[in-house]
A = this chain, B = another copy of it.
Amino acid sequence: MRRVAIIGVGQSRFGELWDKSFRDIVIEAGVEALEDADLEGKEIEAMFIGNMSAGRFIAQEHISALIADYAGLASLNIPSVRVEAGDASGGVALREAFFSVASGLHDIVIAAGVEKVTDVGDPMEIMNSTIDQEWEAFYGATLASLYAIMARMHFNQFGSNEEDLALISVKNHRNAVENPKAQFKREVSLEAVLSSPYVAEPLKVLDSASICDGAAVVILASEEIARKYTDTPVFVDAVVQSSDYLALHSRDDILEMKSVKTATRKALKLARCSLNDIDVFEMHDIFTIAEILLYENVGLAKKGEGHYLIREGVTELNGDKPVNPSGGLKACGHAVGATGIRQAVEIALQLRGDAGKRQVDAERGMAVNIGGSGATAVVSIFRR
């Protein structure tokens, strides 16, 4: 297997993009990435696209061919592969793209993620297609209610509380202020979070990521080619995917995300480093409780102690282990299938020193992208 590097990154704005179509936003991100890498489209050998539910959001499947076509690459007849794993679709696309270069099959490929959700009335109902339809959704469970159960159990077992959750939201909103692509570039106060209405008690509106439109693209190349195109390659040291029981109730311990634990352990081994060596993180904070659970399952905190990290400021932008400098899913916006790639873009910008006022000092970064309530996890490690 060869070393693989990110040589270009691009993102559309994240948010309610009423004036843009699915096609527009993915092309916008792609063009930005090509310009960033100083590449022409015809040098792309394959595309891997993460997307959760174009079938239901825009009544269009077969978006792999659509995107190759709208990118002006149809005449090249290149392979274009859509992958789907709920909101871990972006991470899985990154993995397939990574291995296509690492194995020597391709030299330069695109890994993209895209979702256009605002053309339907109830995107949250479609988000519920990431959980078990027959054994969860049919009985009235929603993605929010499952995370609410996890939050309640964490409160009861470990003494965390609604204020701990709110602090995650406050941090991620503060970070997003300096992210030009973020949906919510504004701070929220602790009081505002705590007084926002419940979505699924104890989770409130301001504990919840917004499901939004957006696209993100990274261009991957073999090390040799990367060196020709850029002085600041960002190496992809590992992309590991893992699975768990789909339904929350099937797991031995609902606060233990075995997919995340397995993927993190394998990724650190492949990248030949320890968690101490990772300087910056993007984590899948679809609800604030998810970020706390990820602190624990990735290993930044012991089990039951995740909330101390946010209380003590460890994961703030100026803390020891900054998490979600982009604003995370909460404040940058959760464009579902785009999120796994957007996380990789943010880590790449941080490692290149291109993150503007949200820049942290980092040599290595990690992205943690999960699908549904954790049945899929993709953990990636990057190095400058």
Residues of A within 8 A of B (CB): 1, 21, 23, 52-53, 55-56, 58-62, 64-66, 68-69, 73-74, 77-86, 92, 95-96, 99-100, 102-105, 126, 129-134, 137, 240-247, 250, 258-259, 262-263, 371-372, 375-376
Question: Which of B73, B82, B246 lies in contact with A69, CB distance below 8 A?
Answer: B246
Known contacts: A61-B52, A99-B99. The answer to whether A78 contacts B371 by CB under 8 A is no
Contacting pair B243 A62 (CB below 8 A)? no
Cα A35 to Cα B1 with chains together (Å): 32
Contacting pair A69 B243 (CB below 8 A)? yes
Contacting pair B105 A99 (CB below 8 A)? yes
Contacting pair B77 A242 (CB below 8 A)? yes
Contacting pair B258 A62 (CB below 8 A)? no
Q: Which residues of B contact A241 (CB under 8 A)?
A: 79, 81
Cα A246 to Cα B82 with chains together (Å): 14
* A128–chain B nearest beta-carbon distance, Å: 8
Contacting pair A259 B77 (CB below 8 A)? yes
Q: Which residues of B contact A99 (CB under 8 A)?
A: 99-100, 103, 105
Known contacts: A55-B55, A130-B61, A133-B60. The answer to whether A258 contacts B77 by CB under 8 A is yes
Contacting pair B80 A376 (CB below 8 A)? yes
Question: Which of B95, B102, B103 lies in contact with A79, CB distance below 8 A?
Answer: B95
Can you name the residue of chain B whose Cβ is closest to the Cβ of A128?
A: B59
Contacting pair A371 B55 (CB below 8 A)? no
Cα A180 to Cα B84 with chains together (Å): 32
Contacting pair A1 B60 (CB below 8 A)? no
Cα A102 to Cα B99 with chains together (Å): 11
Q: Which residues of B contact A133 (CB under 8 A)?
A: 58-60
Contacting pair B85 A84 (CB below 8 A)? no
Contacting pair B59 A85 (CB below 8 A)? no
Contacting pair A243 B77 (CB below 8 A)? yes
Can you name the residue of chain B whose Cβ is closest to the Cβ of A266?
A: B77
Contacting pair B244 A74 (CB below 8 A)? yes
Contacting pair B372 A62 (CB below 8 A)? yes
Question: Which of B79, B245, B376 lies in contact with A243, CB distance below 8 A?
Answer: B79
Q: Which residues of B contact A92 (CB under 8 A)?
A: 64, 81
Question: Which of B74, B82, B85, B129 lies in contact with A64, CB distance below 8 A?
Answer: B85
Cα A322 to Cα B72 with chains together (Å): 37
Contacting pair A81 B85 (CB below 8 A)? yes
Known contacts: A79-B241, A82-B83, A104-B1. The answer to whether A246 contacts B55 by CB under 8 A is no
Cα A21 to Cα B138 with chains together (Å): 15
Q: Which residues of B contact A137 (CB under 8 A)?
A: 59
Can you name the residue of chain B whose Cβ is closest to the Cβ of A259?
A: B77
Given A56-B56, A59-B133, 12 further pairs, Cβ under 8 A: A60-B133, A61-B130, A62-B129, A65-B244, A65-B372, A69-B243, A69-B375, A77-B242, A79-B95, A81-B92, A83-B84, A102-B103
Q: Which residues of B contact A66 (CB under 8 A)?
A: 132, 246, 375
Please, could you name 30 A-B residue pairs with CB atoms under 8 Å apart, sorted by A?
A1-B103, A1-B105, A21-B134, A52-B55, A53-B55, A55-B55, A59-B137, A61-B84, A61-B130, A62-B86, A62-B131, A62-B246, A62-B372, A64-B85, A64-B92, A65-B244, A65-B371, A66-B246, A69-B250, A77-B258, A77-B263, A78-B243, A79-B95, A79-B242, A80-B243, A83-B83, A99-B99, A99-B100, A99-B103, A103-B105
Cα A246 to Cα B22 with chains together (Å): 15
Can you name the residue of chain B whose Cβ is closest to the Cβ of A66?
A: B246
Contacting pair A245 B62 (CB below 8 A)? no
Q: Which residues of B contact A243 (CB under 8 A)?
A: 64-65, 68-69, 73-74, 77-80
Q: Which residues of B contact A372 (CB under 8 A)?
A: 62, 65
